[in-house]
Structure 1
Amino acid sequence: MARRALNFPQALTALIQLKIEDGQELIFDVVRKKWLVCTPEEWVRQHAVQYLVALGYSIHHIQIESGLKTGFNTKRSDIIANSNGKPEVLVECKAPEVALSQKTFNQAFNYNYTIGAPLIWLTNGLQNLYWDCKESKQLEQLPA
């Protein structure tokens, strides 16, 4: 099945494993080490994981869909990259057809209120927004 090209280096896409099983396209999650249905959001999430690894984050220090307690609710963050035992980057992934809006930004900030990561990355695979929480400013790229 044809997948939408994303705004990530082509070399990262080559690392992503896909297969068809029972007529359904599956993608291998390298963090959780299991095959998942390849939804548009999962396609973006696996690219984001590969990008974090390319920047030098250890695959062993990346968490996917970690449970977060926000008030009375439990939510799930898409990706948290840890460094030295602490959250370093909170990543919120959306499907390519979902615009990165103020609502997306607020969602990530609400999650990060619990996590306390110094960096937030919002991505739909086509657009990437990086935010430095310590300096309260947008970044051009995610620091390595």
Structure 2
Amino acid sequence: MHKLNFPTYQFRFKNSENKVLIFDIIRKKFVVLQPEEWVRQNCVHFLIEDKKYPKSLINVEKELKINDLSKRYDIIVYKPDGSIQLIVECKAPKIEINQNVFDQIARYNLVLDADYLMVTNGLNHYYCQMDFENEQYQFLRDIPEYNT
């Protein structure tokens, strides 16, 4: 797999039916290793190991409804009170991070109301903090570490 702009993490892999699978520690199962999944798994480890977010507050690849359309978010980090701290949108390394990607995560956030947004293709990471009062987001150098 492509070398990403994340620290190096330990992953579990296995082969099944001529496909490589990677173990997702959040979903607790092996999933097919596609380029976007490689970015998602690195990002999950980044959130847990580097940003200290508890595994119990992280959710991966769940459906949400936006104007009667079914969409799937990549990663959500909850706060202990059940509100949403962070939404992460992952793209494959060859996908350019452009305005369309930010529009996509902004649409998700109309429903989810996260405080922070992260967009990554594994090579480039963008972090934003929401300003709900002015209906905009402000770019940050990094996302905050978990604190209770």
TM-score normalized with structure 1 length: 0.92
What is the count of residue pairs matched by the alignment? 139
Deviations 1:3-62 (A, max 9, x none): 11000012x2xx221122232111111111111110000000000100111211111111
Aligned counterpart for 1:121 among listed residues 118, 123, 136: 118
Counterpart of 1:7 in structure 2 is: 5
Deviations 1:91-138 (A, max 9, x none): 000000001010000000000110000100000000000010137310
Runs of at least 5 residues in structure 2 that lack an aligned partner in the other structure: none
Corresponding position: 1:46 with 2:41: yes
Aligned-partner Cα distance in 2 for 1:136–1:123 = 16
Corresponding position: 1:137 with 2:134: no
Q: Percent identity?
A: 37
Superposition map of 1:70-85 within 5 A: 70-84=66-80, 85=82
TM-score normalized with structure 2 length: 0.90
Q: Does the C-alpha gap of structure 1 residues 18 and 113 become closer, same or farther in structure 2, counting only changes over 3 Å?
A: same
Runs of at least 5 residues in structure 1 that lack an aligned partner in the other structure: none
What SS is found at the alignment partner of 1:136? strand
Ranges of 4+ aligned residues in structure 1 off by more than 4 Å: none
Aligned counterpart for 1:94 among listed residues 91, 94, 108: 91
Corresponding position: 1:64 with 2:60: yes
Aligned counterpart for 2:20 among listed residues 5, 19, 25: 25
CA-based RMSD: 1.1
Corresponding position: 1:35 with 2:30: yes
What SS is found at the alignment partner of 2:107? helix
Tell which deviates more after alignment, 89-98 or 20-29. Answer: 20-29
